[in-house]
């Protein structure tokens, strides 16, 4: 186990109808609120009205920024910063999935900063302070509801990059599993792949002597696998939705499950290079890339892949070589993704081989990827080829 | 899964020599510090000098309260409150095990409160605010380093009671596994029993549909079992000490592993009734009581005990009845406690049957105990009899 710091000041408010606690949660932060949301589905479901009622009950002045897209755009973030500055906004409330919350984090960090929010993504600047923000989560996937990370896409540069700071942890996140019942089968599947991928990035690590962390990771993976197909098949199954919601949050909440472990994140970097060019869902990209990354790197620490196959997928090791066990676990991962309806190849999402070099070059723009096995541009290209 | 709120603002600073970060961690809170510690072992190990150096480096004025006993006394807490008030103390630093940190929490809550700290233990008053505190942990056991609970003993009334508040979460806890290497075999064993007991109180629950939480609990139990004997046998084994330290903290950090589950805590209440009369270590009392509690209640939800036996202890269920499986898991618990040197009976710690009625009556003073199976005074007496 490596030395570590862990600090996660986000309050979770979990359960049916917890939106009714919104007013009291927001009130301490002020009365000028920026409400950030996506394409308007929250109006169809009635959530928008409930939020407005809650904010009216504390006599808040509400400014709105709607239309946040998946893979949230720098331009949306900049628009939000402008609204906040012009109106003296004191608190940002994000209502939606990962993209909406990530956009809110970018806005929160951007308001007190003189330069462009993109500076945080290119490491030109570090977030020194931010407006406080809170979230109501409507889609389980990214874990952004309980961490300090955000991913922003700059369409002018065709680049998708992450930023992170302790200052943009949501002060609270309202997690009502019933709000995720209207999420489509496809988005539910993408969310499942996303949360499992977050665990993979932490679990497939070269750090030794981390038995508790490995088990915590496996606990989430097993629970997602158990509940994932049910949630896709029965969208209104409360317990399946609740279990997935908790798994998604715990999978990436400031590193709680992987304290003292070196993380990898190569697969995410590869996926970001894909979805910066092709506007595909993050989870879909991960579903395509991750099992191929696994096949490409598993020999760098085969014991971890053997453990994964046996503990998470119940692969019977009797009479099998380590290679066979590891590959059976990787195949089980691919099969599960397919069972829940997630794509397996780039061609499944209409992507050909025309940009492999551009994507591989973009992925390693800041240097080789990952730590489980360090990947150079040629390695990334090979994984992309395996994904065609 | 039940609705829940989860909030844990303690920062963990984990690893060898992390005491060197103390100065920078304390500095934001002010320069008048109360240093709380126990019987002076920190002077023998050199930790005291390191702490004083760190505090000198930020030019702090240090007041001291030493001699905090196991089962910390209300009188010590009151003395600390007085020192803080007389000297305008701005921050409390606890250096020691659970008792020292619990005393510091009592002091922190007592300083701004006009009445007695005992009021928080009897629920006559709730903590409204507290001085900020931080901790350097030297003994892995109670989890107090990352939660808002404290247990105080009132020797005038011969009562041991808990208090809790979000205001007394440590702002930071420094966890250096090397500091626990000088802990005796006996105290190491008691700590192991204590952390496992904390998981039991959460895991043996009547709440349905909590698959992730159950696995998180089992992850800690398995890791403690794997590392416990090693730590007792090889006190300087860094990885065993580090794994136990993380397990002890995660076992009781504001309910992270059992969000949305009803907890029990009957065994702790019974143990508190014992150690309020007899000054035995908390872990020793739990080692005696817990397996007997298990035998007494397991039929209230046998499937959970079957799962415990199979997943934590690897009991082979083939050809066994549920009763046999459950009892094999309970016996494995007792055997493990014995292997690490923890006591099995009240007579092992010199306690006879002279006070069973007094203890049973004290335990249910505020009503029946627990929720897994509700225990009346006669039930508690039966469990105490089984423990003779």
pLDDT tens for each residue of A285-306: 999 999 999 999 999 999 999 9
| Interchain contact A147–B (C-beta under 8 A) | no
Asked if A245 is an interface residue toward chain B (Cβ–Cβ < 8 A), one would say: no
- The full set of domain ranges for chain B reads 11-179, 183-386
Write the pLDDT tens digit of every residue in A169-218: 999 999 999 999 999 999 999 999 999 999 999 999 999 999 999 999 99
The pLDDT value recorded for residue B155 is 87
Cβ neighbourhood burial of A80 (10 Å; 0-12, 13-18, 19+): buried
Residue B158 pLDDT exceeds 90: no
Q: What is the pLDDT of residue A158?
A: 80
List, in order, residues 6 or more apart from B335 with CB less than 8 Å away: none
How confident is the model at residue A186, as a pLDDT? 97
- Label residue B171 exposed, middle or buried (CB < 10 Å: 0-12, 13-18, 19+): middle
CB A331, CB A346: distance < 8 Å = no
Record: contact A12-B14, CB cut-off 8 A? no
Q: What distance, in Å, lies between the first and last C-alpha atoms of chain B?
A: 37
> In the block, which residue shows the tokens 């350097």?
B136
**Of the candidates A72, A216, A244, A230, the residue with the CA atom closest to the CA atom of residue A149:** A72
For residue A243, the chain B residues in CB contact (below 8 A) are 1, 209, 211-212
Q: How far is B219 from chain A (nearest CA, A)?
A: 5
| Interface size between A and B, measured as CB pairs under 8 A | 108
Chain A's closest residue to B247, CA to CA, is A212
Residue A285 backbone phi and psi in degrees, to 5: -60, -40
Q: What is the DSSP string of A128-183?
A: -----EEEEE-S-SS-GGGSSEEEEEETTTTEEEEEE-GGGS-SEEEE-GGGGTTS
Select from 3.40.50.1970, 2.40.37.10, 3.40.50.300, 3.30.499.10 the CATH code of B11-179. Answer: 3.40.50.1970
Structure letter (DSSP) for residue A353: S
A258 part of contact set with chain B, CB < 8 Å: no
Q: Does A11 touch chain B (CB under 8 A)?
A: yes
Residue B178 in contact with residue B238, Cβ under 8 Å? yes
pLDDT per position in chain A (388 positions), as tens?
A: 999 999 999 999 999 999 999 999 999 999 999 999 998 899 999 999 999 999 999 999 999 999 998 889 999 999 999 999 999 999 999 999 999 999 999 999 999 999 999 999 999 999 999 999 999 999 999 999 999 999 999 989 888 889 999 999 999 999 999 999 999 999 999 999 999 999 999 999 999 999 999 999 999 999 999 999 999 999 999 999 999 999 999 999 999 999 999 999 999 999 989 988 898 988 999 999 999 999 999 999 999 999 999 999 999 999 999 999 999 999 999 999 999 999 999 999 999 999 999 999 999 988 999 999 999 999 999 999 999 9
Phi, psi of A116 (to 5 degrees): -90, 145
Compute φ and ψ for A17, nearest 5 degrees: 65, 20
Count the Cβ atoms, other than its own, within 10 Å of residue B147: 25
In tens, the pLDDT along B186-207 reads 999 999 999 999 999 999 999 9
At A70 the pLDDT is 83
Question: Which of A15, A256, A260 has the CB atom closest to B4's CB atom?
Answer: A15
Q: B115 with B93: CB under 8 angstroms?
A: no
Predicted confidence at residue B159, as pLDDT, reads: 82
CB contact under 8 A, A250 and B212: yes
Query: Which chain A residues are within 8 Å of B216, Cβ to Cβ?
Result: 216, 219
A231 touches chain B (CB under 8 A): no
The chain B residue lying nearest A210, using CA atoms, is: B243
- What chain B residue is nearest to A219 in terms of C-alpha separation? B215
Dist. CA B258–CA B256, nearest whole Å: 6
Q: Which is the CATH superfamily of the domain at A183-386?
A: Dehydroquinate synthase-like - alpha domain (1.20.1090.10)
Q: How many CB atoms lie within 10 A of CB B48?
A: 18
B contact test, residue of A1, A11, A147, A174 with most B CBs within 10 A: A1
Residue B70 has pLDDT above 90, yes or no: no
Q: Enumerate the residues of chain B whose CB falls inside 8 A of the CB of residue A207.
A: none
- Helices and strands, number each (H, E), in chain B: 15, 8
What is the C-alpha separation between B195 and B143, in angstroms, rounded?
7
Contact call for residues A267 and A163 (beta carbons, < 8 A): no
The strand ranges marked E within chain B are: 4-14, 32-37, 61-65, 91-96, 133-137, 149-154, 159-164, 172-175
| A243-252 confidence digits (pLDDT tens) | 999 999 999 9
Q: What is the pLDDT of residue B276?
A: 81
Q: Is the pLDDT of residue B279 over 90?
A: no
What would the pLDDT profile of B24-46 be if each residue is shown by its tens digit? Answer: 999 999 999 999 999 889 999 99
Interface probe, candidates B212, B218, B243, B312, chain A, greatest A C-beta count within 10 A? B212
Model ipTM? Answer: 0.97
Angle at the Cα of A308 from the Cα atoms of A8 and A386, rounded to 5 degrees: 100
Is the Cβ of A223 closer than 8 Å to some Cβ of chain B?
A: yes
Q: Whole-angstrom Cα distance, residue A61 to residue A29?
A: 13
A311 shares contact with chain B (CB less than 8 Å)? no
Around Cβ B40, how many Cβ atoms within 10 Å?
11
Give, in order, the Cα–Cα distances in Å from A266 to each of A251, A383, B277: 17, 11, 58
Could A260 and B15 be called an inter-chain contact, meaning their C-beta atoms sit closer than 8 Å? yes
Q: Is it the case that residue B160 has pLDDT exceeding 90?
A: no
- Residue B15's contacts (CB-CB under 8 Å, 6 or more residues apart) are A2, A3, A4, A260, B175, B176, B177
Helices A185-203, A266-277: inter-axial angle, 10-degree rounding: 140
CB A9 within 8 A of CB A146: no
User: For A22-55, what is each residue's pLDDT tens digit?
Assistant: 999 999 999 999 999 998 899 999 999 999 999 9
């Amino acid at each position: 186990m490596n030395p570590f710091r862990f600090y996660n000041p986000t309050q979770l408010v979990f359960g049916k109808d917890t939106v009714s606690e919104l007013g009291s949660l927001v009130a301490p932060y002020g009365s000028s609120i920026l409400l950030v949301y996506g394409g308007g589905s929250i109006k169809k479901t009635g959530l928008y009205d409930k939020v407005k009622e809650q904010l009216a009950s504390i006599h808040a002045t509400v400014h709105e920024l709607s239309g946040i897209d998946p893979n949230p755009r720098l331009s949306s973030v900049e628009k939000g910063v402008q609204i906040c500055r012009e109106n003296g906004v004191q608190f940002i409330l994000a209502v939606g999935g990962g993209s909406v919350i990530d956009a809110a984090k970018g806005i929160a960090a951007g308001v007190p900063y003189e330069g462009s929010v993109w500076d945080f993504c290119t490491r030109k600047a570090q977030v020194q302070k931010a407006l406080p923000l809170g979230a109501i989560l409507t889609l389980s996937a990214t874990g952004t509801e309980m961490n300090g990370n955000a991913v922003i896409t700059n369409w002018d540069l065709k680049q998708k990059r992450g930023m992170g700071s302790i200052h943009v942890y949501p002060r609270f996140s309202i997690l009502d599993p019933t709000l995720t019942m209207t999420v489509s089968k496809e988005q539910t599947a993408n969310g499942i792949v996303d949360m499992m991928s977050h665990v993979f990035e932490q679990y497939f690590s070269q750090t030794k002597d981390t038995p508790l962390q490995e088990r915590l990771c496996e606990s989430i993976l097993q629970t997602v696998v158990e509940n994932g197909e049910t949630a896709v098949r029965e969208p209104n199954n409360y317990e399946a939705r609740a279990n997935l919601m908790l798994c998604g949050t715990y999978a990436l909440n400031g590193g709680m499950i992987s304290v003292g472990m070196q993380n990898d994140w190569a697969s995410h970097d590869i996926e970001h290079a894909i979805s910066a060019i092709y506007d595909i869902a993050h989870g879909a990209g991960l579903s395509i890339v991750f099992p191929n990354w696994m096949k490409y790197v598993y020999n760098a620490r085969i014991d971890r892949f053997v453990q994964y196959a046996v503990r998470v997928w119940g692969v019977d090791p009797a009479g099998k070589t380590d290679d066979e066990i590891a590959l059976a676990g990787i195949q089980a991962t691919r099969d599960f993704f397919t069972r829940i309806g997630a794509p397996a190849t780039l061609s499944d999402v209409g992507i050909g081989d025309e940009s492999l070099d551009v994507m591989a070059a973009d992925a390693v723009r800041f240097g080789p990827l990952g730590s489980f096995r360090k990947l150079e541009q040629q390695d990334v290209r090979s994984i992309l080829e395996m994904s065609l």
